[in-house]
Structure 1
C-alpha cells in the first residue's frame, strides 16, 4: 500500500543527496539547508505521531529547524553549477525532438487518472493507495514515473535525474520552499482567527446582503492577499474562512466546489502580478539573466487582468446555479 509518507521519505532522500553534493563542493550553507529540510521531511511522521501523543518537544524542534533554515537562507548565494556544454544539449534536443515533452505530460495525465480511479485500484485484496490526499499521492507518483520516463527517453544514467534536480534546486535556492512555507502561513493565519477579523471588516464595509458585492470582495480579496503574501495557497484559507464560507456559501448558498476552484484561480491572478511570488516571477528573471527583474511580471499583466475579470464573472454566474 502506498501512502504519502513513502513519498516524503523519497523526497527526503533526494534532499539529502543534494545536501551531500553541496558538502563535497564545500558549499556549507547549501548543504546544511537541504540536509535540514531532508531531516524534517524524513521525521515528519514521527513528529506528527509524537505530537498526537501529547509530547510538544518534537514540534518545538521542528520550529527551531524552521528558524535555522531562515538563518541559513541568508548565507546562500547563487553560483554557477557545471552542466553539459550548450552544443551537447542542443544536439540532444534535436535528436529527441518532441519526445522531450512526453515525461512532462505524464505528470498531469497520471495525476488525473489516480484521482479518478485510485480508490478502485486493489491488488491482492489491498487498496494500492492508503488514506490521505489522493491528489497529492497521485502527483507524487506521477513525478516519480515522469522521472523514470525521462531517463528512458533520454537514455541517461539514473543518477543524472538526481544531479539535474539538484542543479535546479541549487539554482532556485531558498525560493524553492516559498509555496510550502506560504501555504503553511495561510493555515496559521486561518487558525489564529484572521479569517474572522476579515469577515468582520468586510461585513462592516460592504452590503453583506448583496451577492455581487460579496463575490467582488472575495475575488478581489484573494488577489490582494495573494499579492501581499506571495501565493494563493496562503490567501485561500484566510479569504475563504472570512468571506467565502460565512457570506457566500452559508448566507447566499454558493456551491463550495465551484467557489473554491474559481477562488483559487482568481488568487493566481495576483501571483502573476507580484514580486512577492519570488519563485514564480523573480527567479525566472534571474535564471534568464534579464536586465529588468520585473520583466516576467510585465509580460504577465496582459493575461492576469482579463483573466481576473473573467473569473469574477464566472464565479457570479456559476457558483449560484
Structure 2
C-alpha cells in the first residue's frame, strides 16, 4: 500500500542528492542543511517527537548562522535559456501540466474503477501520492523531450533551491506552527478577546474580524492552512457558526480565500512570492508582492461580502 511514506522518501531523495552535490562543490553549510532535511524526511516517521525537534533545531542553527549560501552550479547561460525559450515557446509549459493531470485523472480513474478494490493506495491519500508520481512522470517526459545533460535536472534544482535558501521550507515549518498554535490554545485566547471586543449581535463586524484575522495570521505564518485552525477555533466555529448560526461550508471555504489574500501580501509565503522572484532573477525580491496588492485588497473585501451574504442572509 502506497501512502505518505512514499512522498517522504521521494522528497528525501531529492534533498539528499542536493546535499551530495553541495558537498562535492565544497559548500559544507548547504550540504549540512539539505542533508539534515533529507534525514528528517527519510527517518522522521520512525523517530520520536523529541528527535524530530532536535533535527528542526539543527536546521534553524545552520540557517541562523548564515551557512546556507547561494550556489552557482554549471548550467546554461541566460542567453542559451532565451534561445531555447524562443524556439519552444509556450510548449515549455506542457511538462508542468502533466503533474495536475496525473493527480486529477489518476484519482478519478482509481476511485471510480475496479482499481479501487486493489488497495494500491492508502485511503484518502490517492491524490497526494499521484501528485508525487506526476512529478516523476513530468521529469521523465522533460528529459526525454529536451534531452538535457543527465545531471541538468539535479543541478538546476539545486540552483533554484540555493537561490531561495532556507526560506524554501517555510511552508512546511509554518504549517506545523499553525498546528502548534491550535494545540496551545491560541485560538481560544483570541476568541475570548474578540468576543469581549465585538458588540453582541454584530454579525457583519464578526465576519470582518474573522476575515481580517485569517488574512493577518496568514501574513504572519505565510500559509492560510496554518492560520485556519487558529481563526476557526477563535471566531469561525464558536461565534459565526454556533452563536450566529452561519453556514459552516461558506464560512470555511471563503474564510480560506480571505486567508489566501494575506498570502499575496507576505514574503513569509516563500513558495508563492519568493520563488517566482528567484526564478525570474528579479532584483527586488518583493516585486511579486507589490504587483499583487491591487488584487489582494479588493478580493478580501469581496470575500467579506460573500461570507456575510452567503452564510447568513441567504442561509437564514
Fold agreement, TM-score > 0.5: yes
Q: How far apart, CA to CA, are the structure 1 residues paired with 2:283 and 2:84? A: 29
Q: How far apart, CA to CA, are the structure 1 residues paired with 2:247 and 2:116? A: 39
Larger CA deviation: 35-44 vs 81-90: 81-90
How many residues were matched structurally? Answer: 311
Match of 1:222? 214
Task: List per-residue Cα deviations over 1:169-218 (Å, max 9, x = no partner).
Answer: 12211010000000000000000000111111111111353332221111
Unaligned segments of structure 2, at least 5 residues? none
Q: How far apart, CA to CA, are the structure 2 residues paired with 1:95 and 1:267? A: 40
Match of 1:66? 56
Query: Partner of 2:309: helix, strand, or coil?
Result: helix
Larger CA deviation: 23-32 vs 151-160: 151-160
Change (3 A) 1:307 1:118: farther
Q: How far apart, CA to CA, are the structure 2 residues paired with 1:237 and 1:306? A: 24
Match of 2:183? 191
Match of 1:160? 152
Say whether the 8 Å CA contact 2:15–2:37 is kept in structure 1: yes
Change (3 A) 1:253 1:106: farther
Task: List per-residue Cα deviations over 1:39-74 (Å, max 9, x = no partner).
Answer: 111112223xxxxxxxxxx22111111000001113
Match of 1:256? 248
Q: How far apart, CA to CA, are the structure 2 residues paired with 1:139 and 1:315? A: 31
Change (3 A) 1:291 1:153: closer
Change (3 A) 1:101 1:309: same
Larger CA deviation: 311-320 vs 301-310: 311-320
Q: How far apart, CA to CA, are the structure 2 residues paired with 1:186 and 1:125? A: 36
Runs of 4+ in structure 1 off by over 6 angstroms are none
Q: How far apart, CA to CA, are the structure 1 residues paired with 2:301 and 2:280? A: 30
State yes or no: 1:176 paired with 2:168: yes
Match of 1:51? none
Task: List per-residue Cα deviations over 1:70-111 (Å, max 9, x = no partner).
Answer: 011132122333321233322322332222111112223333
Say whether the 8 Å CA contact 2:70–2:162 is kept in structure 1: yes
Say whether the 8 Å CA contact 1:120–1:127 is kept in structure 2: no
Task: List per-residue Cα deviations over 1:208-229 (Å, max 9, x = no partner).
Answer: 5333222111101111112222
Match of 1:93? 85
- The TM-score, its normalising length taken from structure 2, stands at 0.88
Larger CA deviation: 81-90 vs 235-244: 81-90
Change (3 A) 1:105 1:24: same
Say whether the 8 Å CA contact 1:122–1:128 is kept in structure 2: no
Say whether the 8 Å CA contact 1:275–1:281 is kept in structure 2: yes
1:278, distance to aligned residue in structure 2 (A): 4.5
Say whether the 8 Å CA contact 2:18–2:31 is kept in structure 1: yes
Change (3 A) 1:140 1:114: same
Match of 1:207? 199
**Which of 250, 261, 273 is the equivalent residue of 1:281?**
273
Unaligned segments of structure 1, at least 5 residues? 48-57
Task: List per-residue Cα deviations over 1:227-273 (Å, max 9, x = no partner).
Answer: 22232222111111111121222233333333222212211211222
1:124, distance to aligned residue in structure 2 (A): 9.2
Say whether the 8 Å CA contact 2:170–2:268 is kept in structure 1: no
